Amino acid sequence: MNKEQAQKAIDYLNELLEADEDAISQVLDYGILCNNTLADHPTCQVRHPVLGDNDQCRVSALGVINGIFGTNENGRGWISVSYEQDEEGFKILCFNLNED
């Protein structure tokens, strides 16, 4: 996969976000516990444990989608998000092409 294909997916995700921002934010952010085999996959984007997270890795739908497109030169997924978080939770503002 490449940058141009990732941009098409970003355009699609932003279209869905415009249609129902709450639903898309919840679906794509919700992290499910995963094992180390998935966490070590070369392209799937997985959140690794942070202090207080009981040493559990988590994968979200966005991490799986990102894995389809591979990684950029820096080993990161092509699709990133701009978001805000408040007392009500996590809200995706837009999807972006991650070139760095």
Query: What is the rounded distance in angstroms from the CA atom of residue 34 to the CA atom of residue 48?
Result: 10
> Please, how many CA atoms are within 13 Å of residue 43, restricted to the half-sphere of its CB?
14
Q: Are strands 89-97 and 79-86 parallel, antiparallel or unpaired?
A: antiparallel
Residue length of the chain: 100
Q: What is the pLDDT along the chain (100 residues), one digit of tens a residue?
A: 678 898 999 999 999 999 999 899 888 877 889 998 999 999 898 988 766 656 788 898 989 998 998 888 888 889 998 988 877 777 889 999 988 7
Residue 14, amino acid: N
- The whole domain housing 71 covers 3-97
Question: Contact, 98 vs 29, CB < 8 A?
Answer: no
Total domains in the chain come to 1
Backbone angles phi, psi at 8, to 5 degrees: -65, -40
- Rounded to two decimals, the pTM is 0.80
Question: Contact, 56 vs 68, CB < 8 A?
Answer: no
Q: What pLDDT is stored for residue 27 in this prediction?
A: 85
